[in-house]
A and B are shown apart, each in its own frame.
Chain A
């Protein structure tokens, strides 16, 4: 196969990846941020590694040229996407700074491409190198862009903060270095990345503007222009909009469940957005990661929650579901990304007490929180390259049976976890595609 054909095939594979395509759409619409481009780079890296690994040992000649060509394509692509995002973010803040393109890592690439022709190692080793090293180099194109632009802006007098986040189930080195740092004070190795590392490295910058004087015009004295935090009211859908959304999403639920059977989820219980029980209206939702658990000090068994959310399991990531624009928590989920087991474990999941029917709360505020929390776990699994696989422990036998019959879950009971189940990739994607929420 010719180099050009392989390059074209890889570009097509990236474009046809559903998540990558969604991110590209978001970038084109000017709504993306660097977390999106980071995710895009991780997907590109994974597909590059897979493509190169699949063909490298079939080539007697031209391995080096092919590997370099594939990496240069990804370098150009990732830098172009990041530049688009940078420009869109700057436009919103009235800044006009050209995005900086990081230098292509020629030396590292050459070292890698040469290693693919090493006659002293087995084909399996060559394939492994082709997969993991090309994946790693592709992701570092994004890291280099972030580093270069954060450095450029720091030198221009703007305060830039670099944030490194782990994927949850990461190595001690990544855990130690993860955090948010001022660009000029970042620890050594902040931009480092080992093989199979899926840490996210992004940056955000300070905006300096002339401060408004008495006449309302901006003066020459520059100071930080902190964004005003304004919460938009929740978007309420009309009956016609809600029915349209339901019609679009409902058919997706009718195929692809469990072992190829049909799953049929009761729309009254699992709704695409949260449904206000008082008015029947659907409202948009958003999900954010909780890092400061003191924020959850009111989410404990004493306040009607099932778990002490202010002290979640130490190896978990916690996400909160809210109505878009509101700070009130409608549900919480604690997850653990298990790369080794190729699945995400749903440690704890809980609808807020006001979203559950109890003796003291006969009418729930919103319907659909439970389904949303599942969708968040599935999203995290897809984002981590785990194919949407999630597993959890149901509260009882009836609930387990419900998940099995309605959601295509597969029971995996053990003596100490009798109600454990897995939702496999295909069924998981069906659930995931039924929900709309934004990440904040």
Chain B
């Protein structure tokens, strides 16, 4: 996908959320702590270890 195509995305046309799901369990960690940690460590979420995720609960 190039930059022009990206610009063409209109968020109005897409739903947010998962269809056919009447219950979604909450996050298993504190969102604010997580973002702070990602910023300070320079890691992406996928790069976090299980140990790190456990500490962010």
Q: Tell me the bound Cα distance from A338 to B27 in angstroms.
A: 9
A259 touches B17 (CB 8 A): no
A335 smallest CB distance to B (angstroms) = 10
**Inside 8 A of B9's CB, which chain A residues have their CB?**
269, 398-399, 402
Stretch at the interface among A12-20, A232-240, A342-350: A342-350
- Chain A residue with Cβ nearest B22: A313
Report the nearest A residue to B19, measured CB to CB. Answer: A306
- Docked CA distance A166–B34 (Å): 27
Contact between chains at B15 and A425 (CB < 8 Å): no
Closest to A355 in B: B12
| Nearest CB of A to B52, in Å | 13
Residues of chain B within 8 A (CB-CB) of A21 are none
**Cα distance A277–B31 when bound, in Å?**
37
A351 CA / B39 CA spacing, docked (Å): 32
Instruction: Give complex CA distance A347, B22 in Å.
Output: 9
When chains A and B are docked, how far (Å) is the Cα of A369 from the Cα of B9? Answer: 14
**In the complex the two chains form, what is the Cα distance from A356 to B11 in whole Å?**
9
Q: Which A residue sits closest to B44, measured CB to CB?
A: A411
Task: State which residues 1-31 of B face A: CB under 8 Å.
Answer: 1, 6-7, 9-19, 21-24, 26-27, 29-31
Q: Are A405 and B6 in contact, with the CB atoms below 8 A?
A: yes
Looking at chain B, what size class is its interface with the partner chain? Answer: 20 to 34
- Please give the distance in Å from A180's CB to the nearest CB on chain B: 27
Closest to A372 in B: B12
Among residues 374 to 433 in chain A, which have CB atoms less than 8 Å away from a CB atom of chain B?
Answer: 386-387, 389, 391-396, 398-399, 401-402, 405-406, 410-413, 417, 422, 424-425
The answer to whether A341 and B45 touch (CB under 8 A), given A306-B19, A350-B15, A364-B12, is: no
In the bound complex, residues from chain A placing their C-beta under 8 Å from that of B7 are 266
CB-nearest residue of chain B relative to A334? B17
Closest chain A CB from B23 CB (angstroms): 6
Give CA–CA (A160, B33) in the complex, Å.
44
Known: A259-B39, A398-B1. A341 touches B27 (CB 8 A): yes
- Given contacts A402-B6, A422-B35, are A348 and B15 in contact (CB under 8 A)? yes
Task: Establish whether residues A342 and B32, one from each chain, have CB atoms under 8 Å apart when the complex forms.
Answer: yes
Q: Is the CB of A342 within 8 A of B30?
A: yes
Do B35 and A341 touch (CB < 8 A)? no
Chain A residues with a Cβ closer than 8 Å to the other chain, count: 58
Query: Which of B11, B35, B44 meets A399, CB within 8 Å?
Result: B11
B49: CB under 8 A from chain A?
A: no
Partner of B31, one of A315, A347, A422: A422
Question: Contact string, B26-56, partner A, CB cutoff 8 A, digits 1/0?
Answer: 1101111111001100001110000000000
Q: How far is the CB of A389 from chain B (nearest CB, A)?
A: 5
The reply to whether B15 and A306 form a contact with Cβ atoms under 8 Å apart is yes
Contact across chains for B34 and A307 when beta carbons are under 8 A apart: no
Interface contact B11-A371, CB-CB below 8 Å: yes
Known: A259-B39, A411-B45. A315 touches B16 (CB 8 A): no
Cross-chain contact of B26 among A345, A387, A402 (Cβ < 8 A): A345
A80–B44 CA distance with the chains assembled, in angstroms: 49
* A341 CA / B24 CA spacing, docked (Å): 14
Q: Which among A307, A368, A406 has the highest number of chain B CB atoms within 10 Å? A: A307
Contact indicator B12/A341 (Cβ below 8 Å): no
* Chain A 102-138 near chain B by CB (<8 Å), digits 1 or 0: 0000000000000000000000000000000000000
Of the candidates A370, A386, A392, the one having the most CB atoms from chain B within 10 angstroms of its own CB is A370
Specify which chain B residues have a CB less than 8 angstroms from the CB of A371 in the assembled complex: 11
* A340 contact set on B, CB distance < 8 A: 26, 30
Residues of A close to B38: CB separation below 8 A: 410
* A412 vs B33: C-alpha distance when bound (angstroms): 13
A-B contact pairs, 17 of them (CB 8 A): A341-B31, A345-B26, A345-B27, A347-B17, A347-B24, A357-B10, A364-B12, A367-B12, A370-B12, A392-B17, A394-B14, A398-B6, A411-B44, A413-B45, A417-B18, A422-B34, A424-B35
B-side residues, CB < 8 A to A, are: 1, 6-7, 9-19, 21-24, 26-27, 29-35, 38-39, 44-46
| 3 nearest A-B pairs in the assembled complex, by CB-CB distance | A349-B16, A370-B11, A343-B31
